[in-house]
Structures are given as C-alpha cells and as structure tokens.
Structure 1
Amino acid sequence: MTESFPVRRPSGCPFDPAQEYAAFRRTEAPAKVSTPAGVDAYVISRYDDVRTLLRDSRLSSRLAPSDHVVPDADLDREVESGSILQVDGAAHKRLRRMLATEFAVKRMEAMRPRIASMIEERIDAMLAGGGPVDLVQEFALPIPSLVICELLGVPYADRDEFQERSALLVRVDGWTDEIGRASDELNQYIVGLVLAKQAHREDDLLSRLITRGEDLGTPLSLEELVTVGVTLLIAGHETTANMIALSTLALLANPAQLDSLRADPSLAPAAVEELLRYLSVVHFGLFRYVTDDLPVGPLTIDAGGYLIAALSSANRDESVFDDPDRLDLERNAAAHLAFGFGPHQCIGQQLARVELQEVFTRLFARIPTLRLAVPFEKIDYRENTLVYGVTALPVTWDDPLPTAI
C-alpha cells in the first residue's frame, strides 16, 4: 500500500513531527509513500535504520535533501560542482577535507568569545528599543547572519542581499520565476565576492579555501567556490536562526524546563542537544537515491529507487529515547540525528552548537521575564520550507533587567 508522504506537523503540538511517523515505526518494513516530486519512495523512520543507512555507500546524495517535497522536482538534473550536500565519493571527500579545518571544534571554540559578544550586543539593542519585539527579526536572524558573514568575509551591510533570497530558496512548494531570479542574483553576488577574494586574500573562510586549494595543488574552481559559498551562506543562518526562535518558543511553552535552565545556565550544552532532538528542524528528512539493491528489514529497495531518512521520526524513536515526545533538558540526547549521520553529516554542527549554547546561556539570564506578547495559539509556522520554524515570535519582558553577564 502506498500512502502520501506526510508534510504537515500535527495541529495539537507544533513541536511534534508528522503523526504518521509513529505508525511507520511500528511496522517492520519501511513505508512506501508517494511524494510531491512525483515518485514513490520508502520512508526510513526508525533510529537504528536511519543511522545505518545514512552511512551506506549504496545511497547517493545527488538529490537535494528535500527534493521529495518539491512538486515535480527535476530529479535528473546535474549536480552542481562544489555542492558538498550532493556530490558523492572522492569529490565529496575532497570538498569536505578542505572545509573540515574551518569547522573544527578548536576553531569554533576560538570563535565563542566573539559570538558571545554579538549576542550581548543584540540583547542590548533589543532592550534599548523596548518590547514587544519580533525575536526572529531582532535576534534569532541577526545572530547567525552576523556569524556567517564574519566567517565567510561577507560584509554584514550586504545581509539583505542574501537574507531575502535565501528565504525564497529554502521554500519547498515549487519552483517559480521569483525563486529562479533569487537563485541567479545570489549566485552573482557570491561570484563577485569570490573574485574579490581571489584578487585580495583576507582572513576569512573563502580566502583560506582559495589558498588551501592552491597549496594542495588541487585549487577549487570558481564554480566550486561559488557553490560552497552559497551553500554555507544559506545553511549557516537559516538553520540556526530557526532553531533559536523555535527553541525559545518551546522553552516558553515548557516553563518547568525553562526554570531549570534559568536556575543552572551550565545546563545549556545538554539543553541544546535535547532541543535539537526534540525539534528536528530539518523536518522533511533527507532524500537519497539508491544506486544498488539495498536490503532494509524484510524488503529490498531496488537500484534506481528512492529513500527518505526521516530524521524527526528517528529522534522520537521510543526504543532509543524514553518518553521521546517530552522535552527534558536533563536528558542525554547527544546521540540525536538532527545533524544527519555518515559522510554527509552537517559539517557546521559545532558552529551551530556554540551559537545555540551562547544564546541560551545569555538570553534568559539577561531577560529573565521574557514571555510571549501574543497567545501561543496565534504563532504561525514555516511549514513549507526546508527548515521548520516560526514566521515571527512576538515577545516582551518586564523592567528592570540585569546587566550583561
């Protein structure tokens, strides 16, 4: 029996994944679903299966991660040179090896003081203006935008050049002329940026990639550098911005959990891992192409077939996480799959962790009375985008407030 791929979160709790996943996990064989892309695919919903299959070389990542929910997506288009999300094998290893140094734990930790300073500055700006404010526009979006701009060497004054366009490019409700223009314009912007870096190297990621490729004797082409730049620019702020806003909402909706974080800010690292598990903002999972016959439980998925690794379902698997539908900041959730798994596991995960840890160490300490400025039921959600989140998060607070920590 073929069902429709679930694309909606339940109306009862906006933090929960699509309700069909719980039933999928109870069946021994993966569920076969029809997708908006116009093909059938098998949903891998159990934690152990998702973890195992995402490192299987018989799966290709040549499809965009959410192609399955894009109506009539072109599944036969060529992979862009330099697309770390989609290239496989030796080409992927080459790109990842060049980028790994940039996102190593030591380098990300070295950025922590600067990230903390950015967060304090944004909190100061919010407090100076007074509430209510939209936390998305005034805090959740600016923080990762500032960070990724500084990392890539993008002038922050140019942030409007990519924020509006990237918001269009993560939509999954079909290709339009507007999205096509946004893609072309963002690519042209990054082309100009890369050409400038090639002419005058600075202390930023793109400049170091150019130099590293030359030093290794395998320089990255202009096309590769542009694709890497676009990918990092979009992924580097869209995912973290939505995690900041949605996590804040989840904490406000769970006051006992928020109280525990306020009482013990050292809980922030564990809290971040649990929020990543609980929210799973890459909510449509990862689309993969099967290159060779692949046994999954009692079935064999034939070569040429399609598979969806449902990350949000795996992160709610009852066999791995006790009472998985409950937010528990003291849970050991480090084994979650919010960043994927295997060779294509998110290369920027350590940067995201540092940003989120600093946000939730500081935001509620600086603004302990932070609360929603509208009823919870009035919040709107980004259902039709690659990354799940809220469209706006109106918040307010009481005075007086403590100074920076």
Structure 2
Amino acid sequence: MPPTAPSPQQTACPFPVSSGPALNPEYAALRRGPLPRVRLPHGGDAWLVTGYQDVRTVLSDARFSIVAPRDGEQPRMRSGARAVSGLFALDPPEHSRLRSVVGRNFTPRRVDMLRGRIAELTSACLDRMEAAGPPADLVALLAAPVPPGVLCALMGVPEENHGLFEDWARLILSHEPRPDEMARKFEEFSACLREMVARRRAGPSDDIIGTMVRACDEEGRISEDELYAVAADLLSAGFLSTSDQLSVLVHALLAGPRRYTRLVERPDLIPAAIEEVLRHTPLLSAFSFPRYATEDVELGGVLVRAGEPVVPVVAAANHDPGVFPDPDRIDLDRDAAPHLAFGHGPHYCVGAQLARLELRVMTEALVSRFPRLTLAVPEERLSWRTGHLLNGLVELPVTW
C-alpha cells in the first residue's frame, strides 16, 4: 500500500509558484518523490500535486471535488476563505448548469465575431504608441486597455465603469487586501452590477449580463444569487488575466534570441509561440483552488484519504520533464502534449478560446507594425508584480 505521509524534509511550505518568468526551482525536487504534504499559510495542510498526469487527474477525476468546506479550513495562500458559490466553487452537474448559461457567449462562432473588435482596439492602441514614439510602455499602451475593453463589450459594461471593475479585480486578486478597502470596493462593485442587471430587466440585451438575466427570469436556469456570483467570477478572473498574459508573452519573445524576429519572418508560427509561452511562464504566482478527495484515492505514490485536500500546481505540471523535454527552455518548435495553462476537465477556462484569439490578434498586429521591437531597458531592470495572484509585469518598456 502507498505511504500515507511524505518524508519530513518535504513538509516545508509555502513558496511561490513563480518569481518573474521562471518557475520556482523547488518544484523540480518535489516532483521526484511521492506527493509532499505541505502546510500553506492559512487553512491547514494539503497534498501538493506537481506531476503532469497527477494534476490532470485531480482536475478531471470526479473523485476530487472543488466544493470547499464551509468551516473556513480551506488550505490557501491568504487569510480570507474563498466564496462557496459561483463557477469556481461547484462540481458538476451544478457547475455544468451555470457554465452552460455563459458558455453560449464563448462558442467558436461567437468568439470569432469579436475578431474585428479586437483588431480595432489593437490598431487604435498601436496608433497611439507609434504617434508618441519610443520608448513606450507596452503594458499601459496595449496589454492593459485591449483585453478589458473586449471583455467589457462582451459583458455589456459601460465604458465609465471600466476603472471600477479593474480596481475590484486587482483587489480581489491581491494576496492580502485590506478589509476596509475590500468592503468599500465590494459595495461599489455590487452596486454597479445591480444597476447593470436592472437595466437588462428594463430593456433586454444580447450581452452576457443580458443572457444571464434571461436565464434567471425567463428560463429559470439560475437563481438570482447565482447570477451575481457568476458575473462576479467572470469580471474578477477575466478582467486582468489576458492583459498579464500578453505582457508575459511579449517579454518572452523579446528576451530570447531571435524569437520575436522569427515571428516577424514567420507570422504563421504565432499560434505555436503563444501555446509555448502559455506552457512555460506561469500566469498564477500562487496555487490554484484545492480539491477534496471524496473517497480514498492512490495518487502520486501516496494514499489520499477521503476528505483530504490536494492542491494542483498547474505551472509545475507544465514543466514536467517526462512530458515536456527540457521544460525550462522556450521552444517555438515544440511538439508536445497539451499544456494545462487553461486548466483541464469540467473547470477548463470558459474564456480560453477568446484569450487565444486576443493574444493572436494583438501579436500579429505588433510584429507587423513594429518588426524591430526590442526591450528598452536591460532585463534586470524589469519590474514583475508582487503581492498578487497573477504573475505579470508592472511595466514593459520597449523601443523600435
């Protein structure tokens, strides 16, 4: 029978998933032994899962539930326990029911209809960048405005509220938000969301908020509380992630020898380059949501008992050398198994296709308009965000 406890030297935790563009080297050592049992800063102990196949199992096997206990003992990186409602807190079939309501807005056909809007926003940003001249901050001029602009259009968020939702997303994704600021921002966020819902009830619309209002009022597919929970999930998780991913992507292309130049010469390689950087550079700087074994399960050389939490580390799985040879190297020609950057199983990112399209359109426009783009400062002077659940650059100074 597999052991039920790791060796003592494997109990120290936490450490961050990433430090800037690199995966924390601790994970290479952890992956060589049985699952370690670690103590996170809050909520007690958990099994840490780092191997590719084991992470896939945790994310897709029905014997591991994402439903958190209601006693607050969720193993986690920050003091506040996560909410117990919404897309990130339910298993199928409840999760499938909620996901189907918003999923109709992320079908391939609906996403492709946004291509023109993405291109329009990107072109306007690059026009401003070119007019201002080098050097320029690519985060402020391209990564920050385009993806939130697309999401807000998709959800029906008025332009005057973009800043409010961005502030809320930054706050909710920070490691330790101040309670007073959290309470104030939550009330502002909730009031704006209630007003948007009221407007849809007064005059229907085809945006995501309108879709959810119809699903609640006319179809009876979701409750009022679920409507607000799912809307909050989409705005919190989707507002900043693609922005940070673009800054990470462009940094990876400019920091390596001839990566950006290859895409200028071979723009057909852009989709593969996006996938490789998604695999290589962790977007999350902390762990993903834990899962809880619903029965005894053998995993990674140990026996996980029913009720015990396991924490899958997607970034570590994406660097498993048994699946991705020489995993710490960015290889634009890599032909490998699918990465797990967007998750796996029932909680696979509902907006993954939109994120890929945004990254592709923005990168294609960038290499076309600025074929001689380079970093404007030495690598060591770049500032990576700290104290935040998303890994990204504060600024990305470029010149041409």
Match of 1:111 in 2: 114
- Contact 1:144–1:355 (CA under 8 A) maintained in structure 2: yes
Greater relative CO (CA pairs within 8 A, separation 6+): 2
Q: 1-side partners of 2:99 and 2:228: how far apart? A: 15
1:72 Cα deviation (Å)? 3.2
Partners of 1:162 and 1:297 lie apart in 2 by 40
Distance 2:298 2:191 in 1: 43
Q: Secondary structure at the match of 1:332?
A: coil
Residue of 40, 46, 54 corresponding to 1:49 = 54
Aligned 8 A contact 2:279 2:341 in 1: yes
> Aligned partners of 1:53, 1:103: CA distance in 2, in Å?
25
> Aligned partner of 1:365: which letter?
S
1:7 aligns with 2:16: yes
Q: What aligned pairs does 1:371-386 form with structure 2 within 5 A after superposition? A: 371-386=374-389
Alignment-derived partner of residue 403 in structure 1: none
Note if contact 1:141-1:237 (Cα within 8 Å) is conserved in structure 2.
no
Deviation at 1:296, TM superposition (A): 0.9
Candidates 180, 185, 189, aligned match of 2:188: 185
Residues 198, 220 of structure 1: alpha-carbon distance in 2 compared, 3 angstrom cutoff: farther
1:214 shift after superposition: 4.8
Asked if structure 1 preserves the Cα contact closer than 8 Å seen for 2:137 and 2:398, the reply is: yes
Three-state SS of the structure 1 residue aligned to 2:164 is: helix
Instruction: Decide whether the 8 Å contact of 2:92 with 2:346 is kept in 1.
Output: no
Is the contact made by 1:261 and 1:267 (CA closer than 8 Å) also made in structure 2? yes
Structure 1: unaligned runs, 5 residues or longer:
398-405
Q: Which runs of 4+ in 1 moved over 6 A?
A: none
- Quote the residue 1:40 is aligned against: 45
Q: Tell me the residue number matched to 1:151.
A: 154
- CA deviation after TM superposition for structure 1 residue 224, in Å: 1.8
1:259 alignment partner in structure 2: 261
Shift of 1:290: 2.8
Q: Following the alignment from structure 1 to structure 2, what is the Cα–Cα distance between the partners of residues 9 and 119? A: 29
Structure 2 unaligned runs (5+)? Answer: 1-7
Q: How does 1:141-290 map to 2 (within 5 A)?
A: 141-173=144-176, 176-214=179-217, 217-286=219-288, 287-290=290-293
Q: What SS does structure 2 have at the residue aligned with 1:220?
A: coil
* TM, length-normalised to structure 2: 0.91
SS of the residue corresponding to residue 325 of structure 1 reads coil
Separation (CA, whole Å) in 2 of partners of 1:291 and 1:383: 35
Deviation at 1:242, TM superposition (A): 0.3
> Contact 1:45/1:313 (CA < 8 Å) preserved in 2?
yes
Moved more, 294-303 or 244-253: 294-303
Aligned length: 386
Please point out which of 348, 351, 356 is paired with 1:348: 351
Counterpart-to-counterpart distance in 1, 2:261 and 2:68: 42
Paired residue type of 1:61: I
Shift in Å at residue 161 of structure 1? 1.2
